[in-house]
Amino acid sequence: MSEKEIKNLEEIFEARIARDEKIEPKDWMPEKYRQTHIRQISQHAHSEIVGMLPEGNWITRAPSLRRKAALLAKVQDEAGHGLYLYAACETLGISREELYEQLHSGKAKYSSIFNYPTVTWADIGAIGWLVDGAAIINQVPLCNTSFGPYARAMVRVCKEESFHQRQGYEIMLTLCKGTPEQKAMAQDALNRWWWPSLMMFGPTDAESTHTEQSMKWKLKRKTNDELRQQFIDQTVPQAEILGITVPDPDLKWNEETGHYDFGEIDWEEFWQVVKGHGPCNKERMKARVGAWEEGEWVRDAAMAHAKKQQEKKVAKAS
Amino acid sequence: MEQQHLYNYILGIADNNLILGQRLGELCGHGPNLETDIALTNIALDLFGQVRSYYQYAAQILGEGATEDDVAFLRKEREYRNVLLVEQPNTHFGYVIGRQFLFDVFHYLFIEQLQHSNDETLSAIAKKAIKEVSYHKRFSGDWIKRLGDGTKESQAKMQEAIDALWPYTQELFEMNAFEKEALENQVGVNLPELKEAYDEQVGQVLQEATLKIPENPYFHKGGKEGIHTEHMGYLLSDLQYMQRTYPNMNW
Amino acid sequence: MRKEWPLWEVFVRSKNGLEHRHFGSLHAADAEMALENARDVYTRRNEGVSIWVVESKHITASNPADNGEMFEPAQSKVYRHPTFYNLPDEVKHM
C-alpha cells in the first residue's frame, strides 16, 4: 500500500471512530492503534491477574466463612476478568502465551498498586473499597471505547465488579463499628492505601504522554487528573461515614470549585514502584512466573492427551 | 440419636469439606492456567457453601448462641474430624487432582446415600450438594485421565501422587462410634458398603488413565479421631489466625 | 512446537426460548475441557442453561474489506420492509 493510500485509510478510520462506530478485529486499523490496544488491554489483563495475589494472600486466613467465600469469589472474578481481557487482546493477533512472556520478562507493565503488601485483614477491605473503587472509575468509560472486543469485555467486567467494592466497604464498615482495635486496623489500612490509590490514575496531565491519542480513540474520556478528582470527591464522604480520617492534612472542601483540594502526591514513590522497586514487585513476579513454570507439565499433558484422543477417534472412524 | 453425638457426626462430614476447601483456597491465583484456576476455585466455593450449611446446623445443636464460625474456627486440632486425605498438601498439581478425585468419588457415593437420611436437615443438604459433587467427580476424573494418559512426565507425576495418596483412602470407609450410632439411627451412611462401588469407579478411571492402583496394603488413619498428620497444625494456624489473634470480635 | 491450548468460542443460551449468543472465548485442550471451562468462566452467575463451544479456527468469517459487495446491496431492497408499502390510515393493524 502506498503512503497516500494508508493516509486515506487512516482518515476514514479516524472518522469512523469520531462517528462512534466500533472497530472490530478484522477491520483495517493503523498499526499504532493495534499496538496501543495490545499494550493497554494486556496491561489491564496483567493487572487483574497480578491483582489476585495480594488478596489471595488472605484467602486462607479470612476471619469468617462468609468472608472467605466472598473473597474467594472475588479473586476468582479477577481471574475471569483477566481471561476476558486476554481474549480481547488475542483478537489483535497476539497469543496469551506471548502476553505472559511480556509480563514475566518485565517488558509489560501492570498496575503498581498490586506491588504493595496486604499486611492485615483490613487491607482486604481497603483494597475492595479504594482500589476497586478507583478501578471502577477508570473502567466504566471503557465500556464505550472504540475497540469492540475491549468494550464488550469491559461491560462484563463492570457488571461483575459491582459487588467487589461493596464487599470491601462492608469489611471496613464492620471494622469501624467493631472494637477500638478493629477500627485502628481500618485506619491503618486507609493510611497505607490512600496515596497508592490516588496514584492509580497515573501521572498528572502535564506529565502524561498518551492522553491526547487515547482520548481520540476513546481509550480515555477524561484526563488522569479529572478521574483522580472524581475519585477523591466520591471517596472522602465514604470515609466520613466510616468515621476514619483520610491521611492528607491538606484535604479540604473547596466551596468555590465544588471539589476537594488535596495535598501533593509523592511522585518519586510512584516512579520507584513503576520502575520495579516497590515493596512486592519481585514477589509478585516470582509468584506469576512460578505458577506458569510449575504448570507447564500440566498444560503439556492436557495437549498430549487431547491429541491421543483425537487420533483414537480418527482411527476408529477409518 | 443423642444431640452431642449427632454434632460429632456432622463434624465428621463437614470438616472434610472445610479442610479440602482450605487447601484449594491456597491454590487460588497459582493454578497452571487461568481456566483451571477458576474451575478449582469453583469447587472450593461449592465445598465452603456446603460447610456453612453443615456448621449452621451443628451450631444450632450446640445452642447458646454458637455460630458457624465458632464451629469452623475455634476448635483444637484434636477436635477436627476430617480424614487425613483432605489435609494432604498441594505438593504439585498431580496431588491436587489426585486428592480431589480420590475424595470426590467417595463424596459422591456418600452424599447419594445421605439424601436418604431420616435427619431432614442432613438430607436436605445432601440433596442440594449432590449436583455439585457430581460435577466435581467428573471434573477431577477428566483431569486424572489427562495427566495419567498425557505425557511421560505427567504420567509419572500422577502415578507418584496416587501412590502417595492411596494409603489415605481406606480411612474413608472405617466407621467410628458416632458414625455407627448414626447408621443405627438411620441418620448416617453405611461406609463399608460404599467401598465396592468406590474401588470400581476409581479403578475404572485409573485404568483409563493408564495408572495403577498401588499394591501397598498399608493404610493410615486417625483423622476421624482427631489424630492428624503434621500438616494439619500449619493449616489450622492459617485458618484460625484471625479468630485466635483477635478473639470475640465480629468480622 | 506451539503448545498453547487452542482458543475456543463460547455460545450460551441464557434461558430456554432464547438463542445461543456469543459470550466470549477461552483456552482449552479439548472439547470436554472447553465445555467445563466455559461453565466455570461464563456461567458462574447463573447466566446459562446450555453451552456450545467451537474451536475458533473452525469459524469462517467474512472479510470486512468485502463489506461493500457483501452487505450494501441489501440496503437498496427497501421493498423487503413493511414501511415500503403505503396504506390508508383507516387500516389500523396490518
- Taking the Cβ of residue B89 and every Cβ of chain A, the question of whether any pair is shorter than 8 Å is answered with no
* ipTM of model: 0.96
Residue B94 identity: G
Instruction: Sort strands C20-27 and A259-261 into parallel, antiparallel or unpaired.
Output: unpaired
Nearest neighbour of C4 by CB, restricted to A83, A97, A309: A97
Q: Is this prediction's pTM over 0.90?
A: yes
Higher confidence at residue C74 or residue B72?
A: B72
List the domain boundaries for chain C: 7-80
More confident residue, B167 or C3: B167
pLDDT at residue B93, as a whole number: 98
Domain residues for B48? 3-245
How distant is the Cα of A247 from the closest Cα of chain B, in angstroms? 24
Residue in chain B closest to C4 (alpha carbons) equals B33
Cell for C25? 472465548
If you measure CA to CA, which chain B residue comes closest to A46? B34
Q: Chain A within 8 Å of B69 (Cβ-Cβ)?
A: yes
Q: Phi and psi for C9 in degrees, rounded to 5?
A: -100, 140
Mutation pick from B24, B38, B52 vs chain A, by most beta carbons of A within 10 Å, is B38
In this structure, the number of other CB atoms found within 10 A of the CB of residue B184 comes to 10
Cell 498428620 identifies what position? B229
Per-residue pLDDT tens digits for C59-93: 999 988 888 888 988 888 888 888 888 888 888 88
CATH code of domain C7-80: 3.10.20.520
C-alpha to C-alpha distance for B199 and C79, rounded to whole angstroms: 69
The band of B21, judged by pLDDT with boundaries at 50, 70 and 90, is: very high
CA–CA dist B40, B31 (Å, integer) = 8
The amino acid present at C2, given as its one-letter code, is R
Q: What is the 3-state secondary structure (H, E, C) of chain C?
A: CCCCCCEEEEEEECCCCCCEEEEEEEECCCHHHHHHHHHHHHCCCCCCCEEEEEEHHHCCCCCHHHHHHHHHHHHCCHHHCHHHCCCCCCCCCC
Count structural domains, chain B: 1
Residue at B191 is within a domain? yes
A30 touches chain B (CB under 8 A): no
How far is it, in rounded angstroms, from Cα B104 to Cα B131? 12
Cα A121 to the chain's mean position, in Å? Answer: 21
Beta-carbon separation of C41 and B38 below 8 A: yes
Side chain identity at C59, as an amino acid letter? I
pLDDT in tens, C6-37: 999 999 999 999 999 999 999 999 999 999 99
Q: Has residue B99 been placed in a domain?
A: yes
| A117 neighbors A54 (Cβ within 8 angstroms) | yes
What is the DSSP pairing of strand C7-13 with strand C20-27?
A: antiparallel
Q: In the prediction, which pLDDT does C1 show?
A: 45
Buried b / exposed e across A58-72, counting CB within 10 Å, b at 16+? bbbbbbbbebbbbbb
Q: What CATH number has the domain bearing residue B111? A: 1.20.1260.10
Residue B197 resides in a domain: yes
Parallel, antiparallel or unpaired: strands A252-254 and C7-13:
unpaired
Is residue B111 in some structural domain?
yes
- Residue B67 backbone dihedrals phi, psi, to 5 degrees: -120, 170
For residue range A64-74, what is the model confidence (pLDDT) as tens digits?
A: 999 999 999 99
What parts of chain A have a pLDDT lower than 50? none
Q: What is the pLDDT of residue C2?
A: 55
Q: What is the mean pLDDT of residues B105-115?
A: 98
* pLDDT confidence of residue A213: 84
Considering only CB atoms, which chain A residues are within 8 Å of C4?
95-97, 299
